[in-house]
Amino acid sequence: MNLTDRVAVITGGAGGIGAALGRRFAAEGAAAVVLADLDADATRAVAEGIGPVAHGVGLDVTDEAQVRALVDETERRYGRIDLFCANAGVATGGGAEAPDADWERAWRVNVLGHVHSARAVLPAMLRRGQGYLLFTCSAAGVLTAVGDAPYTATKHAAVGLAEWLAITYRDDGVRVSALCPQGVDTPMLAGGLAEGHLGARVIAASGAVLTPDQVADATIAGLAEERFLILPHPEVAGYARRRAEDPDGWQAGLRKLVRRLRAADQYEPPPSPPPPSPWPAASP
Ligand SMILES: NC(=O)c1ccc[n+]([C@@H]2O[C@H](COP(=O)([O-])OP(=O)(O)OC[C@H]3O[C@@H](n4cnc5c(N)ncnc54)[C@H](O)[C@@H]3O)[C@@H](O)[C@H]2O)c1
């Protein structure tokens, strides 16, 4: 798929990767780019920055009625949706002990948000015999996100759902890609790094932290090839292969990295030497 004359919808479009996708789609000649996010004001500001081709609206992807209304309104205004990017996502920074409310929020945004999108757009795409779903998942969905159990579990579920949809609907003309970046310089990762969160530091130590624009470049290339797995960090393919071939060895390598980062936390620099004394040294 190329973006020329396409109608695209992007959830989580108030900033980060979603906004970069919006800018890039417009630059590629999209007919319309609809950005939708919980943060309606920021989304409208992003759309205004892109220009008349873009339109920003408020949306909560966990509310199926809102997702359906967005899809209906976009189809009414522009006639169709060629590409729906389910990109909204949340991290929790918690482990297994994270409260159920955090697990539920991760599930509702990172998985059910994609389910709601697929349910809303598939009928028209299947009728037309064409359409494209892009799910922003994460390298955490094919590997693991150290320090964030709900994120890891729900991103694995998102990749599983994308794969299921790709297999089920490809022969009916609907294509599906799972975008799986590792570290990207957005508010999501920056917040974790600012707090010194172990998970964010593992991401930063595992490879390059890309800009959202670099992720948008990789997405355009992946969509052009209609590749299922879009990996802006190519090294993730090697990590995933290693994990599949030798799960114990892969986990041992990751544990070693975590131990190294934890040891760095405990490192205390030696006290600085005392300033030189202004007095002459006493003779023995
Ligand atoms: N930043 C990274 O390192 C990284 C790496 C891999 C994958 N991702 C994924 O990329 C996607 C975009 O994240 P980002 O990095 O641009 O961070 P971000 O925090 O800038 O963007 C996430 C957006 O999702 C929106 N959102 C959250 N809950 C929502 C809801 N219920 N309904 C509508 N919108 C909602 C937020 O308001 C925010 O604008 C997410 O799915 C994230 O998991 C990010």
Contact of 261 with 201, CB cutoff 8 Å: yes
Contact of 43 with 13, CB cutoff 8 Å: yes
Check 78, 132, 151, 169 and give the catalytic one.
151
Q: Give the pLDDT of residue 258.
A: 87
Q: Give the pLDDT of residue 273.
A: 58
Cα 87 to ligand 1 centroid, rounded to whole Å: 6
Q: Give the pLDDT of residue 54.
A: 98
Q: Give the pLDDT of residue 264.
A: 79
Residue with CA closest to ligand 1 atom 6: 138
The number of the ligand 1 atom at minimal distance from the alpha carbon of 42 is 39
Cα 210 to ligand 1 centroid, rounded to whole Å: 15
Contact of 208 with 183, CB cutoff 8 Å: yes
Determine whether the shortest distance from the Cβ of 209 to ligand 1 is under 6 A. Answer: no
Of the residues 37, 39, 233, which should be mutated to test ligand 1's pocket, given the most ligand atoms within 8 Å of the CB? Answer: 37
Q: Give the pLDDT of residue 183.
A: 96
Q: Give the pLDDT of residue 97.
A: 96
CA–chain centroid gap for 207, Å, is 16
pLDDT by 10-residue block (mean), the chain, 284 residues = 98 98 98 98 98 98 98 98 98 95 98 98 98 98 95 98 98 98 94 88 90 98 98 96 97 92 69 59 56
Cα 187 to ligand 1 centroid, rounded to whole Å: 8
- 89 CB-near residues (< 8 Å, 6+ apart): 12, 109, 110, 113, 136, 138, 155, 188
Is residue 239 among the annotated active site residues?
no
Spatial separation of the C-alpha atoms in residues 6 and 277, rounded to whole Å: 75
Of the residues 186, 197, 231, which should be mutated to test ligand 1's pocket, given the most ligand atoms within 8 Å of the CB? Answer: 186
Contact of 133 with 165, CB cutoff 8 Å: yes
Q: Give the pLDDT of residue 283.
A: 56
Q: Give the pLDDT of residue 205.
A: 87
Determine whether the shortest distance from the Cβ of 56 to ligand 1 is under 6 A. Answer: no
Contact of 180 with 138, CB cutoff 8 Å: yes
Strand, coil or helix: what is 177?
strand
